[in-house]
Every structure is written in C-alpha cells, then in structure tokens.
Amino acid sequence: MDFQLTDNQLQLQDAARRFARNELQELALELEEKNCAVPLEWRKKYAELGFLGVNMPEEYGGLGLSHLDALIVLEEFAQISSAVAFPVFESSVGPIKTVLEFGSESLKKRIAPAVAKGECVVAISMSEPDAGTALTDLKTKARIEGDEFVISGQKRWCSGGGHSDAYVVYCRLDDRPGAAGIGAVLVEKDRQGIQFGAQESLMGFRGIPSCDIFFDDVRVPLDNQIVPAGGFGKLMGAFCLERCGNATMSLAIAAAALEEALDYTSQRSQFGKPVVDFQAVQLKLADMAMKVEASRLLIWRAAQDLTDQGLPSIANSSIAKCFANEMVREVASMGIQLMGGYGYSKEFKMEQRLRDAYGWGIAGGTIDIQKVNIAAALVGRRFNQRN
C-alpha cells in the first residue's frame, strides 16, 4: 500500500495549484459577490489547460486519467472556492459520468466532447418537492410517443439549474412503483416546454446556481435515454463517484481553513508573542490537521478501491462523504474561533467557508443517509425506511 502520489500526479497537482491560486482568486470573489456561475470564457480556459474531464476517456476529449487524478485537481480548485471548482466537479465526477457509463455511443459523442471543451455543462436533476432522501417517491414521468420521450414533472434543488446546458433527469419510465420504474433521460436546456424557477438564495454555495425546473411535455429523442426503467441501482452506483467529489469539496474547504488559520496565528501577536505560541491554539491547529489528513485518506481510498464497474463502492464513498461533511463544519468553526473577529468578518474568507461547509453535508445525500448506507454495508442488507 503506497500513500504517496506518483511524479505525474504531483505535477498535475502543482499545475492545478499554481493556476488556481494565481488566476482564480479574483474570479472567486466576483462569483461570491454577484452569485453568478463561472462564465463560458473561463470554462474554456479550464479546458485548454486540461482541467475539465480529467478522468474522461481520451476518445471523448478527456485526459483519460484516474478518478483520483480528477479529485486531486478538484481539491486544488475548491481550496479557492466551491464556485470556481464547480465546472471541474461537473466534468469529472458529476452527471456526465453517468452519461459515459450508461448512455448510448451516439449520446456520449454528442455531449461528452463539448463538456471536455468547456462548451457544455451537464447538471443532475433528481430531487423533487416530495422526493429528496426518499428519491424513489419521485413523480416526474417520461412517456414514449413515437420516437420521442415526453417528459412532465417538477424538479427541485438542481445545482446548476438554469445555468447548465443539459440535465440528467431521473424520471419514471414505466408505471411500476418505487425504484423499479425509474430511469434517467438527458434533457437539453433549449427544449420546448422546459422552464426554470427563480434562483435560490442560499446560506452558502454562492456562484453555484440552483432552482426548480418545470417540464411541460418536453420532448427529447429516444436516444437521450441514459438508463432504462429498472436501472435505479445503476444510477446510484454512478452517484458514488459524485459522493467522492462532494467529499473532496468539503476536504478542500477544510484544508484552506487550516492554511489560513495557520498563517493568521503565526502572524498575529497578543500579549507580546505570536498567537500560535499559546498551547490552546496549538491544540486546535493539531485537531484541524488530523481531521483534514484523515478525510483525504478516506477519499483517496474510495477513489482507488473500485468495484467491477470501475466506480467507488457505496460503503467507501459514503464513509468518505460522511466524515468529510462532518469534519469540514468542525474545522471551519475552529478556524473562525482562532481568528476571532477577523474570522467572523466578510473581509476574510473563513466565514464563507463555514457557510459553504454546511451545504456539502446536505447536497448529494445528507450526512444521516450516508450513515444509513454505512450501516447497511456493515449488516449486508438495505434497510426499508417505510416500515
């Protein structure tokens, strides 16, 4: 077992770090202030430098590298902000991976190269007003008429909603109840009958658009089917990689909080000496460092210990996500405490980190549902939450 990155991975990490820290600081501030997404010209710049679709096959325009390589890049971007990292997230661990895993060859060729070039963003559209954690209660339907799907329903909490160019829509493809009737279809933003609600005003996640989506007899070709009815398990399997991306976002926020807290306590003096010389401060810094390093190891394990489908397991990805989601809230809180009034001020980024930290423990499956997944893996069976 080797815990060291290869020379190529270190070079990739260094390139991502230098670009993110030298080029993206002002963009991150703009996205936070204006609550707008990374613009097209910046996405194309990401793509030109090879930061989109890191683990996408070369035949579709990616680099053909591993999931771990993609997460290494994602962490460096997300240490600047979740918003500037979101195009990397969507292109490497987001719903485009579901398309690549299960979509038809023609659909892959139509969508994936555009994502790798930064010309297209694909978002996931799964939750509904009455179907969040209980996702198998979803009501959005796709019926077949001739050579088209006709989609009707409403989606909620779609990260990228209104901004993304296409959506992987979880929907009912037949009348069987529960998971049995659920599959997924790709719906492009410009299809007639699709409408977007008002942008959400959230505690954090500024720069990551989110809104309701309404489908009123939206027609897409049958080739847009990604997973047929009965493929809910496949969708959840692909979602394990997104959990690792979610965990990496949390890890990056915590790592950045630790770095800023260390810099601040080393430079700030009280009672005639640097704050870092006080033992209480040292203990907090040590706690922060332990949590960050433990989280990184859990994520890397999940990214490398893959199932037969080449994806992280439900157990490993849930452990990594759950730990990272809880850890980042604690680390960001300690960062604020160490910086005192400065940590609480919007002139610094620590308070933003705490706001964003809470979002990742809700997005992509709550902390509690990850613990249910972990327990299910321990006992070797799924739990029926309805009885």
Question: What pTM did the predictor assign?
Answer: 0.95
Q: Which helix (H) or strand (E) holds 183?
A: strand 182-188
Are 82 and 249 in contact by the 8 Å Cβ rule? The answer is: yes
Instruction: Say yes or no to pLDDT of 280 above 80.
Output: yes
User: Can you give the C-alpha Rg of the chain in angstroms?
Assistant: 21
**What 8-state DSSP symbol labels residue 349?**
S
- How far from each other are the two terminal CA atoms of the chain, in whole angstroms? 43
- CA-to-CA dists, residue 251 to 50, 96, 193, 329, angstroms: 22, 22, 39, 10
Contacts of 239 (CB under 8 A, 6+ apart): 98, 364, 365
Q: What's the pLDDT at 382? A: 84
Are 351 and 203 in contact by the 8 Å Cβ rule? The answer is: no
* Alpha helices (runs of H) in the chain, residue ranges in sequence order: 7-23, 25-34, 40-48, 67-78, 82-92, 96-102, 105-116, 232-267, 279-304, 314-339, 341-344, 350-360, 367-379
pLDDT bin (cut points 50, 70, 90) of residue 12 is very high
Counting beta carbons within 10 angstroms of the beta carbon of residue 281, is it exposed (0 to 12), middle (13 to 18) or buried (19 or more)? buried
Q: What's the pLDDT at 309? A: 85
Interior CA angle at 245 toward 138 and 336, to 5°?
105
Counting beta carbons within 10 angstroms of the beta carbon of residue 70, is it exposed (0 to 12), middle (13 to 18) or buried (19 or more)? buried
* Alpha helices (runs of H) in 270-313, residue ranges in sequence order: 279-304
Give the sign of the dihedral formed by CA 67, CA 73, CA 76, CA 79: negative
pLDDT bin (cut points 50, 70, 90) of residue 119 is very high
Q: Choose the weakest-confidence range: 66-75, 90-99, 155-164, 378-387.
A: 378-387
Instruction: Say yes or no to pLDDT of 387 above 90.
Output: no
Q: What's the pLDDT at 198? A: 95
Q: What's the pLDDT at 228? A: 96
Q: Tokens standing for 42?
A: 């910046």
In whole angstroms, what is the distance from residue 130 CA to residue 107 CA? Answer: 30
In whole angstroms, what is the distance from residue 76 CA to residue 278 CA? Answer: 30
Mean pLDDT of the chain: 95
User: What percentage of the chain exceeds 90 in pLDDT?
Assistant: 94
Pairing mode of beta strands 141-145, 148-159: antiparallel
Q: What's the pLDDT at 385? A: 77
3-class SS at 306? strand
- CA-to-CA dists, residue 34 to 27, 37, 66, 79, 160, angstroms: 10, 9, 34, 19, 15
Could you give the count of Cα atoms lying within 13 Å of 251 in the half-sphere of its Cβ? Answer: 27
In whole angstroms, what is the distance from residue 352 CA to residue 213 CA? Answer: 27
pLDDT bin (cut points 50, 70, 90) of residue 57 is very high
3-class SS at 149? strand
Are 210 and 199 in contact by the 8 Å Cβ rule? The answer is: yes
Alpha-carbon dihedral of residues 268, 273, 275, 281, nearest 10 degrees?
A: 170
For residue 88, which phi and psi values (nearest 5 degrees)?
-65, -45
Q: What's the pLDDT at 254? A: 98
Instruction: Say yes or no to pLDDT of 268 above 80.
Output: yes
The pLDDT tens digits for 154-201 are: 999 999 999 999 999 999 999 999 999 999 999 999 999 999 999 999
Q: How many CB atoms lie within 10 A of CB 276?
A: 18
Domains, the chain, ranges and CATH? 7-116 (1.10.540.10), 122-227 (2.40.110.10), 232-379 (1.20.140.10)
The pLDDT tens digits for 294-343 are: 999 999 999 999 998 899 999 999 999 999 999 999 999 999 999 999 99
